[in-house]
Structure 1
Amino acid sequence: MEYRPPHDGELAGHAPAMRLMCRTLGAWVRPPVADIVRGAYRYRYGLDGDHPAVRRTLEASGLV
């Protein structure tokens, strides 16, 4: 899945795109991938799930 930090314009042309990976540990059950993406944006960048950067990532990844 493609994942981009929400630095609109500051990193124009920045490559490579980031990859968001998730691996289960022990008996932990992985939540839906869209929830992991929302959590990454919330806890790393302080953005809510309705922020344009979050919506773009979810849409580009086919998660909504």
Structure 2
Amino acid sequence: MKIIGIALLMMECLMAFSLSIDIFQGFDVSQALYNAVSPFRVMEVAELFVLFFLLFLFLLNLLIFL
């Protein structure tokens, strides 16, 4: 459970850092949020499959060791 919490905290901190850099560069908040999620919008089906497969393996590994 600690691993999930740490991973989520790291993701939250990195997204906040990315958003703050975009805002300091002059983007408004909506454009900064769009920039944060845009890499997932251009992924192809195979790339999304690999992403979700790796997330599934990560979660499965966590459940096995609980």
Q: What TM-score do the two structures reach when normalised by structure 2? A: 0.29
Q: What TM-score do the two structures reach when normalised by structure 1? A: 0.30
1 or 2 for the larger relative contact order (CA 8 Å, sep ≥6)?
Answer: 1
Between structure 1 and structure 2, the one with the greater Rg is: 2
The structure with the largest strand share of the pair is 1
